[in-house]
Chains A and B, each alone.
Chain A
Amino acid sequence: MTPPELRDMVRRLLAYDAIASKNSEPTESATLRVYEKLHQSIDAVAGAAASYSLASRALALAKEEVPSLGAAQVAANGSIQGLSEFETQIDNGMDQADDGGILLIGHLLGLLLIFLGEALTLSLLRNAWPSASFDDRDSENGRKA
């Protein structure tokens, strides 16, 4: 997937999650929720250490493009910290902040694609969003239908 395709995928995940999380805490940001679900899915399969490593790398890549992500950090368990300040910026309608959250998850997806390939990455996504449809891809062999 190209970077624009990855961003599209993140936006789709945000949309799925918005539907699935109607009853969740209103204070929790959509980006954070999507990141957490993805992180937990990686954690379940690859362990916390792998989740932490990939998240750190993704954050470093995102910071290069959006310096205002500088305050964000990855905790030892792979969860992201310091994104709340960022979310405030999103609330204020700052495009760059929005891009930052999407970029972070996009880079995480990109790393998964590099290391695991498309089929297994989609499998992780299905774990995190079981009711979401990824029908534009052939789930049996992981290739585009």
Chain B
Amino acid sequence: MSTQGKVTIHQLPTGVPGLDEIVGGGLPEFSFNIIAGAPGSGKTTLAHQFVFANATPDRPALYFTVLGESAIKMLRYQQQYTFFNPGKLPDSIRFINLSQTVLEKDLSAVLEEITREVEKSNPAVVVVDSFRTMVRKPQNDMDLQSFIQLLSLFLASWQATTFLIGEYAEDELRDNPIFTVADGLIWLRQSAERNSIVRKLQIVKLRGQASVPGLHTFRITEAGLQAFSRTFGLTGKRKHLPSEKRLSFGVPALDKMLDGGIREGDSVLVAGSSGTGKSVLATQFIAEGIQQGDPGIVAVFEERPQAYAERAASLGLDLNTPQKDGKLEILYLRPLDLSVDETMHSILDAVQKIGAKRLVIDSLAGFEMALSPGFRADFRESLYRMIFALTGIGVTILSTVEVDESFTEFPFSTYSISFLTDDIIRLRYVSIDGQLRKIMVVIKMRGGNHAKDIREYEITSTGVVILGKRLTNYQGLISGIPVHSNRPEEIKDPLDKPGTKSKD
């Protein structure tokens, strides 16, 4: 059968940042929707955002309040949100109280009153809040089903997009005739995870278009709900093709070890214990990028941006000027109750704002600690989605990770995330000649012929400096307690080309 001539279903903006992408572009016009969830989950606020985004004087919104939250209090509280525009009342948005009718009469009287008001106002949007309280009065099933059917049919015929708001528990999802009638079912959840509240929403059902499946986190702020799609708002974005371009660290000897630098669009892990210079290396990577014309972002979790910039300044790296010039953003992401999706949202905003090519996440441990406990369980999975999404748009990511220094093992990370990374650089302490010295080795480099050398390095006033020799006269360096061998102390560095200096 031909698809030509099929009906066009217009989509209406939800008024909730991030939600349009989740529902597949916007909510279908004339659809009959239910917003369900526990008390305090944000149902009324979501409905208000939709109403304020779509109501006009010609096609107003009718907001029927029933039992439950009193209209006075609802208006008192809802007007605190920035989207609440009192100028839209009463021409574009009309609040109508049905509580008396519900208390004193039956559902047919309620239907009559809604019908009367709809015929009078020709609304584009109709909300019944809370619909659930209306049907809690003893009714037989037939009454309720008839009411829903008639209401749905009537409102669709009058070209209204409708929301019924109801307080429902998870176990009521099955075999509910109301949900069968609805075109769309938006479920809002909130749960306590230790000391944090985790909010998630799900498009359980949406007729006529594809929504993004799964649970999406959302936050309620003074601007109302903000949703964070699992696809990070990148649905339909063109994938960045793999590049052969190499990005310098600003540490020539390290670039050489990396066969010219990090491949653009890679995810790099710099692992090491405390004080080994992970952040220093990360800062050099971002500063070198800016030098080369690549705007960058640093996401910090353990220190404030100013402190980060001051530490960079002590290495002779100026991060303040590029920040002023819009070439660098240092994001301090509010700790304790973040979701990865929210973090991603902040990072993506910054990426788009300054056209960032390099991103430093310093550190993964700090990132994990900043998450709400409920999200930590999904950290690896979330990190996978995040890295995949960011590298997919051509951003090169350098993450630092702290690993426990062991003198018997050589772990790359405590998160078992090495499979998420294209390249791994390992920093560690070794005990040599009565000194605690530092060594560096490139463990892995996807698609590159990296050096296998173990190199000693120091952190000086100019940052990481790799010393001009590989350590050939020690055995068991990666154990941290090497044994001196009797081989000659220096041999020619195979990475050195004739005529080049071995020390940077």
Whose C-beta in chain A lies nearest to the C-beta of B73?
A115
Smallest distance from the beta carbon of B108 to chain A beta carbons, Å? 20
Smallest distance from the beta carbon of B326 to chain A beta carbons, Å? 31
Give the contacts of B96-122 with A (CB-CB under 8 A).
96-97, 99-100
Q: Are A49 and B99 in contact, CB atoms less than 8 angstroms apart?
A: yes
Smallest distance from the beta carbon of A24 to chain B beta carbons, Å? 23
- As a 0/1 sequence over residues 37 to 56 of chain A, the CB contacts with chain B under 8 angstroms (1 = contact) are 00000011111111000100
CB-defined contacts of B79 to chain A, threshold 8 Å: 116-117, 119-120
Q: Are B90 and A116 in contact, CB atoms less than 8 angstroms apart?
A: no
- As a 0/1 sequence over residues 113 to 145 of chain A, the CB contacts with chain B under 8 angstroms (1 = contact) are 001110110110011000000000001111000
**B95 contacts A by Cβ under 8 Å:** yes
Q: Are A45 and B76 in contact, CB atoms less than 8 angstroms apart?
A: no
Q: Are B97 and A43 in contact, CB atoms less than 8 angstroms apart?
A: yes
**Number of A interface residues, CB 8 Å?**
22
Report how far A125 CA is from B315 CA in the complex, Å: 65
CB-defined contacts of B70 to chain A, threshold 8 Å: 46-47, 49-50
CB-defined contacts of B100 to chain A, threshold 8 Å: 47-49
CB-defined contacts of A119 to chain B, threshold 8 Å: 79, 86-87, 89
Smallest distance from the beta carbon of A144 to chain B beta carbons, Å? 13
Report how far A46 CA is from B65 CA in the complex, Å: 8
Query: A50-B70, A116-B76, A119-B79 are contacts. A44–B85 as well, Cβ < 8 Å?
Result: no
Smallest distance from the beta carbon of A130 to chain B beta carbons, Å? 9
DSSP majority for the A interface? helix
Give the contacts of A2-23 with B (CB-CB under 8 A).
none
Give the contacts of A43-85 with B (CB-CB under 8 A).
43-50, 54
Smallest distance from the beta carbon of B222 to chain A beta carbons, Å? 16
Q: Of A49, A50, A115, A120, which contacts B89 at CB under 8 A?
A: A120
CB-defined contacts of B471 to chain A, threshold 8 Å: none
Q: Are A46 and B97 in contact, CB atoms less than 8 angstroms apart?
A: yes
**B71 contacts A by Cβ under 8 Å:** yes
Q: Of B72, B85, B96, which contacts A140 at CB under 8 A?
A: B85
Q: Are B97 and A45 in contact, CB atoms less than 8 angstroms apart?
A: yes
CB-defined contacts of A142 to chain B, threshold 8 Å: 86-87
Q: Are A117 and B71 in contact, CB atoms less than 8 angstroms apart?
A: no
Whose C-beta in chain B lies nearest to the C-beta of A112?
B72
Report how far A25 CA is from B167 CA in the complex, Å: 47
CB-defined contacts of A47 to chain B, threshold 8 Å: 65, 70-71, 97, 99-100
Query: A45-B75, A47-B71, A120-B79 are contacts. A141–B99 as well, Cβ < 8 Å?
Result: no
CB-defined contacts of B87 to chain A, threshold 8 Å: 119, 139-142
Whose C-beta in chain A lies nearest to the C-beta of B98?
A47
Interface residues on B, range: 10 to 19
Whose C-beta in chain A lies nearest to the C-beta of B89?
A123
CB-defined contacts of A123 to chain B, threshold 8 Å: 86, 89-90
Smallest distance from the beta carbon of A142 to chain B beta carbons, Å? 4
CB-defined contacts of B85 to chain A, threshold 8 Å: 140-141
Report how far A116 CA is from B79 CA in the complex, Å: 8
Q: Are B72 and A126 in contact, CB atoms less than 8 angstroms apart?
A: no
The interface centre, meaning the residue of A47, A120, A123 with most chain B CB atoms within 10 A of its CB, is A47
Q: Are B90 and A46 in contact, CB atoms less than 8 angstroms apart?
A: no
Q: Are B97 and A141 in contact, CB atoms less than 8 angstroms apart?
A: no
Report how far A48 CA is from B97 CA in the complex, Å: 8
CB-defined contacts of B75 to chain A, threshold 8 Å: 45-46, 115-116, 120
Smallest distance from the beta carbon of A115 to chain B beta carbons, Å? 5
Query: A46-B70, A50-B71 are contacts. A120–B86 as well, Cβ < 8 Å?
Result: yes
- As a 0/1 sequence over residues 383 to 426 of chain B, the CB contacts with chain A under 8 angstroms (1 = contact) are 00000000000000000000000000000000000000000000
Whose C-beta in chain B lies nearest to the C-beta of A77?
B100
- As a 0/1 sequence over residues 40 to 73 of chain B, the CB contacts with chain A under 8 angstroms (1 = contact) are 0000000000000000000000000100001111
Report how far A47 CA is from B99 CA in the complex, Å: 7
Report how far A44 CA is from B96 CA in the complex, Å: 6
Smallest distance from the beta carbon of A52 to chain B beta carbons, Å? 11
Q: Are B86 and A45 in contact, CB atoms less than 8 angstroms apart?
A: no
Smallest distance from the beta carbon of B75 to chain A beta carbons, Å? 5
Report how far A52 CA is from B100 CA in the complex, Å: 12
Report how far A126 CA is from B95 CA in the complex, Å: 14
Report how far A142 CA is from B84 CA in the complex, Å: 11
Smallest distance from the beta carbon of A94 to chain B beta carbons, Å? 34
CB-defined contacts of B71 to chain A, threshold 8 Å: 45-47, 50
Report how far A145 CA is from B389 CA in the complex, Å: 47
CB-defined contacts of A139 to chain B, threshold 8 Å: 87
CB-defined contacts of B95 to chain A, threshold 8 Å: 44-46
CB-defined contacts of B89 to chain A, threshold 8 Å: 119-120, 123
CB-defined contacts of A126 to chain B, threshold 8 Å: 90
Report how far A119 CA is from B73 CA in the complex, Å: 15
Q: A43-B97, A47-B70 are in contact. List 8 more A-B contacts (CB 8 A).
A: A45-B71, A45-B75, A46-B95, A116-B75, A119-B86, A120-B75, A120-B89, A123-B90
Report the 6 A-B pairs with minimum CB-CB distance, sorted nearest first.
Answer: A119-B86, A47-B97, A140-B87, A46-B71, A123-B89, A142-B86
Chain A residues in the interface with B (C-beta under 8 A): 43-50, 54, 115-117, 119-120, 122-123, 126-127, 139-142
- Sample (20) of A-B pairs whose CB atoms are under 8 Å apart: A45-B75, A46-B70, A46-B75, A46-B95, A46-B97, A47-B100, A48-B100, A49-B70, A49-B99, A50-B70, A50-B71, A50-B72, A50-B97, A54-B72, A115-B75, A119-B79, A119-B89, A120-B86, A123-B89, A141-B86
